[in-house]
Amino acid sequence: ESDLAVLKLVDKFFLAQLGKSIDEVENQEMGEFYSEFQMLAHNDHIDKSVYQAVENKINRILRDLEEKEQVTS
């Protein structure tokens, strides 16, 4: 669900700046996407409020993954 929310924000606000299709973004490793995302933000290609929304969703995804790892280990 959170992944889908991130993809919707990417598609709506800065897919063109990434120079990729939404399928390419969806299949990309999180670390690679995050680096590109931060570069766009650093170069002011993403609105600050959009950046913050995506950043919050990514952080929530990472927290959820960490919690799942703790439960299964």
The predicted structure's pLDDT at residue 23 = 95
Instruction: Specify the pTM.
Output: 0.80
The predicted structure's pLDDT at residue 73 = 73
Q: Domain ranges for the chain, please list them.
A: 2-72
Asked whether the predicted pLDDT for residue 46 surpasses 60, the reply is: yes
Q: At what angle do helices 48-72 and 2-13 cross, to 10 degrees?
A: 160
- For every residue of 20-72, DSSP letters joined together read S-HHHHHHS-HHHHHHHHHHHHHTT-S-HHHHHHHHHHHHHHHHHHHHHHHHH
Cα 67 to chain centroid, rounded: 19
pLDDT in tens, 4-37: 889 999 999 999 999 999 999 999 998 899 999 9
